[in-house]
Structure 1
Amino acid sequence: MSSDGDGDMENQAELEEKTRLINQVLELQHTLEDLSSRVDAVKEENLKLKSENQVLGQYIENLMSASSVFQTTDTKTKRKGSKGARKD
């Protein structure tokens, strides 16, 4: 009779272990789904911000080209670049 009791206890322990593992797998699946959703949301936000950044960059470029202050700076930069390229 003690062997039946040991067998039942082993079966019960195996069942509990399987149940624990199944619950852990389900929890990990939910965590993975949450992380995947978060990654998708971050990617979408990143694309949106990149687009806004391009618009702002173009706007700033247009403002700079319309301003005489920045046009003189551009010529100074070009001169510096040509002096740096020259070998003495």
Structure 2
Amino acid sequence: MAEPSFEELDATTENTEREELIRRVLDLQSQLKVMLSRVDSARNDYKSLSTENQLLQKYINNSLTSTAVFGATNGAINSNNLSLHSPGNSPR
């Protein structure tokens, strides 16, 4: 049996390296697709949460506005009537 020549070994090594590079590129492409999918998912979550936050902010603003228009309820604290009293200082 004859030994392979240097050129044949070199060609075989190049083919093996090329195949390994192709496998690596395909693996990296697959990883990139997964990462892009995660980015898209995070972007959609952000949009959804942003919309929800805007809705909640409108609700809070409307609630505060309606409270100011109709007056505070019995359970609400009126900030204009608050005063700080320390235990040692009683109002005179």
TM-score by length of 2: 0.69
How many residues are aligned here? 69
Which residue number in structure 1 is paired with residue 44 of structure 2? 40
Is 1:28 the counterpart of 2:32? The answer is yes
- By percentage of residues, which structure has more helix? 1
CA RMSD in angstroms, aligned pairs only: 1.5
Deviation per residue, 1:46-79 (Å, 9 max, x gap): 111111110110110111122398xxxxxxxxxx
Q: Which runs of 4+ in 1 moved over 4 A?
A: none
TM-score by length of 1: 0.72
Larger radius of gyration: 2
Identity of aligned residues (%): 13
Structure 1 unmatched ranges of 5 or more: 70-88
Deviation per residue, 1:11-67 (Å, 9 max, x gap): 111111111111011101100001111110111111111111101101101111223
